[in-house]
Chain A
Amino acid sequence: MPIDYVQDTCSPFWLWIAGVWQKAEGINVDLSVARDRTGSTFTSLGGHRYAQRAPIARRSWAVTLTRATPVGIAALAAAAEVDDVWLWSDATVNMLASRDCFGTDPAVDCGGLSLPGFTGLVEVTGRVRAGVPTTVSLWGSAALGGYGVTMITYPTGSAIIPGGTVAGHRSTTFTPTQDGEVTITPGINTSGLMLTEGAPPEVWSPGESMPCKVMVEDPAETLLGKRDGAYRSDYAIRIVEVD
Chain B
Amino acid sequence: MPFAKTGAVYTTPDVRLVLDGAAWLSDAAVSSWSVDRRLVASVIPGTIRQANGLSVGAASVSVINTASRVTPWSKTPDRLVTTDLPAATLEAFDEAGDSLPLGSWVLDPVSGALSSREVKVDLLEAQYAGKQRPQRLPAYSAEPFNPDSPVDPVWAIARLAEAAGFPATPPPVESAFLALPLDGSFMATVGAETYSPTGETPGWTLLPDGTVGGESGTTASMTASADIDGTPINDLFRSGRYAYFTLNVSGAAYLTDFVGGWQIKIVNDATTGTHTFGVCHNGTGAFASTPFTPSLDPDWPDRVQVRLSRTWDDATGRWSNTYGNARSSASAAWSAEVSGTGAFAPIAGFELFLVFAGTDLPDGGIVGAAPGQFSGLQVTRSDDPGLWLPAKAQLKPLGADMGLPWVPPEMDTWTAIQNLCSAWLAAAILDSDGMLRVLSKDDLAGVAAGVPIVVDDDLEDLPWTSDPNDKHDRLEVTYAATLIRNAEVGTTKLAPEAWRAEDVIHVPAGATVTIDAALEDRGAVGIFSKFTIPGSESSAWQSQTSNVSVYGTPDGTGDPIPVEQIAIQADQTSATTARITYVNRSGASHYLVTDADLAEGGGEPSLILRARSVATYTPNLLVRGKSVDDATNPLAVDLTPWVQRAQDAEAIANYLWGRLSGRAWKVESVKCRLDWTLDIGQIRTLTHPDSDLESKVLITAVKYDGKPGQIAQSLDLVLVPWTYADFSAAWTAVDPTSTYTDFAAAQGPTRTYADMSADDNWTGA
Q: Report A-chain residues with C-beta under 8 Å of the C-beta of B708.
A: 38, 54-55
From B6, B455, B709, contact of A50 by CB (8 A): B6
Identify which of residues 20-75 in chain A touch chain B, using a CB-to-CB cut-off of 8 Å.
Answer: 37-40, 42-55
Contact A51 B12 (CB under 8 A): no
* B600 lies within 8 A of chain A by Cβ: no
Contact A39 B710 (CB under 8 A): yes
Contact A53 B12 (CB under 8 A): yes
State how many angstroms separate the Cβ of A72 from the closest Cβ of chain B. Answer: 31
State how many angstroms separate the Cβ of B390 from the closest Cβ of chain A. Answer: 30
When A37-B709, A39-B710 are in contact, do A52 and B458 touch as well, CB less than 8 Å?
A: no
State how many angstroms separate the Cβ of A13 from the closest Cβ of chain B. Answer: 26
When A50-B10, A52-B674, A53-B12 are in contact, do A38 and B707 touch as well, CB less than 8 Å?
A: yes
- Kindly report which residue of chain A lies nearest to residue B8, judged by CB atoms: A50
Q: Report A-chain residues with C-beta under 8 Å of the C-beta of B460.
A: 42-45
- Kindly report which residue of chain B lies nearest to residue A42, judged by CB atoms: B673
Q: Report B-chain residues with C-beta under 8 Å of the C-beta of A38.
A: 707-710
State how many angstroms separate the Cβ of B704 from the closest Cβ of chain A. Answer: 12
Number of interface residues of A (CB under 8 A): 19
What 1/0 flags go to B434-471 for Cβ under 8 Å of A?
Answer: 00000000000000000000011111111000000000
Kindly state the separation between the CA atoms of A52 and B94 in the bound complex, as whole angstroms.
Answer: 13
From A42, A47, A54, contact of B11 by CB (8 A): A54
Kindly state the separation between the CA atoms of A42 and B10 in the bound complex, as whole angstroms.
Answer: 11
Kindly state the separation between the CA atoms of A105 and B7 in the bound complex, as whole angstroms.
Answer: 18
When A42-B671, A42-B673 are in contact, do A54 and B709 touch as well, CB less than 8 Å?
A: yes
* B711 lies within 8 A of chain A by Cβ: yes
When A50-B6, A52-B710, A54-B709 are in contact, do A44 and B12 touch as well, CB less than 8 Å?
A: no
* B4 lies within 8 A of chain A by Cβ: no
Q: Report A-chain residues with C-beta under 8 Å of the C-beta of B707.
A: 38
Q: Report B-chain residues with C-beta under 8 Å of the C-beta of A99.
A: 95
Q: Report A-chain residues with C-beta under 8 Å of the C-beta of B671.
A: 42
Q: Report A-chain residues with C-beta under 8 Å of the C-beta of B458.
A: 44
Contact B6 A52 (CB under 8 A): yes
Q: Report A-chain residues with C-beta under 8 Å of the C-beta of B712.
A: 40, 42
Contact A51 B9 (CB under 8 A): yes
State how many angstroms separate the Cβ of B4 from the closest Cβ of chain A. Answer: 13
Contact A45 B461 (CB under 8 A): yes
* B122 lies within 8 A of chain A by Cβ: no
State how many angstroms separate the Cβ of A99 from the closest Cβ of chain B. Answer: 8
Q: Report B-chain residues with C-beta under 8 Å of the C-beta of A54.
A: 11-12, 708-709
State how many angstroms separate the Cβ of B11 from the closest Cβ of chain A. Answer: 5
- Kindly report which residue of chain A lies nearest to residue B13, judged by CB atoms: A55
Q: Report A-chain residues with C-beta under 8 Å of the C-beta of B108.
A: none
* B14 lies within 8 A of chain A by Cβ: yes
Kindly state the separation between the CA atoms of A49 and B457 in the bound complex, as whole angstroms.
Answer: 9
Kindly state the separation between the CA atoms of A43 and B712 in the bound complex, as whole angstroms.
Answer: 12
When A38-B708, A38-B710 are in contact, do A46 and B455 touch as well, CB less than 8 Å?
A: yes
Kindly state the separation between the CA atoms of A155 and B683 in the bound complex, as whole angstroms.
Answer: 56
Q: Report A-chain residues with C-beta under 8 Å of the C-beta of B13.
A: 55
Kindly state the separation between the CA atoms of A44 and B461 in the bound complex, as whole angstroms.
Answer: 7
Q: Report B-chain residues with C-beta under 8 Å of the C-beta of A49.
A: 8
When A42-B671, A42-B673 are in contact, do A52 and B456 touch as well, CB less than 8 Å?
A: no
- Kindly report which residue of chain A lies nearest to residue B97, judged by CB atoms: A122
When A43-B460, A45-B456, A48-B457 are in contact, do A55 and B14 touch as well, CB less than 8 Å?
A: yes
Contact A52 B462 (CB under 8 A): no
Contact B710 A55 (CB under 8 A): no
When A44-B456, A46-B456 are in contact, do A52 and B461 touch as well, CB less than 8 Å?
A: no
Q: Report A-chain residues with C-beta under 8 Å of the C-beta of B95.
A: 55, 99
Kindly state the separation between the CA atoms of A35 and B6 in the bound complex, as whole angstroms.
Answer: 25
Contact B12 A46 (CB under 8 A): no
- Kindly report which residue of chain A lies nearest to residue B96, judged by CB atoms: A104
State how many angstroms separate the Cβ of A106 from the closest Cβ of chain B. Answer: 17
What 1/0 flags go to A148-165 for Cβ under 8 Å of B?
Answer: 000000000000000000
Contact A44 B673 (CB under 8 A): yes
Kindly state the separation between the CA atoms of A190 and B192 in the bound complex, as whole angstroms.
Answer: 68
State how many angstroms separate the Cβ of A44 from the closest Cβ of chain B. Answer: 6
Identify which of residues 662-718 in chain B touch chain A, using a CB-to-CB cut-off of 8 Å.
Answer: 671, 673-674, 688, 707-712
Contact B709 A45 (CB under 8 A): no
Known: A42-B671, A53-B12. 17 other contacts (CB 8 A): A38-B709, A42-B460, A44-B455, A44-B460, A45-B460, A45-B688, A46-B457, A48-B456, A50-B9, A50-B674, A51-B8, A52-B710, A53-B709, A54-B11, A54-B12, A55-B11, A55-B14
> Can you name 25 A-B pairs with beta carbons within 8 Å?
A37-B709, A38-B707, A40-B712, A44-B457, A44-B459, A44-B460, A45-B456, A45-B459, A45-B460, A45-B462, A46-B455, A48-B456, A50-B6, A50-B10, A50-B674, A51-B8, A51-B9, A52-B12, A52-B674, A53-B11, A53-B12, A54-B12, A55-B14, A55-B95, A99-B95
Ranked nearest first, the 9 interchain pairs of A and B with the lowest CB-CB distance are A46-B456, A38-B709, A54-B709, A54-B708, A40-B710, A39-B709, A53-B709, A38-B708, A52-B10
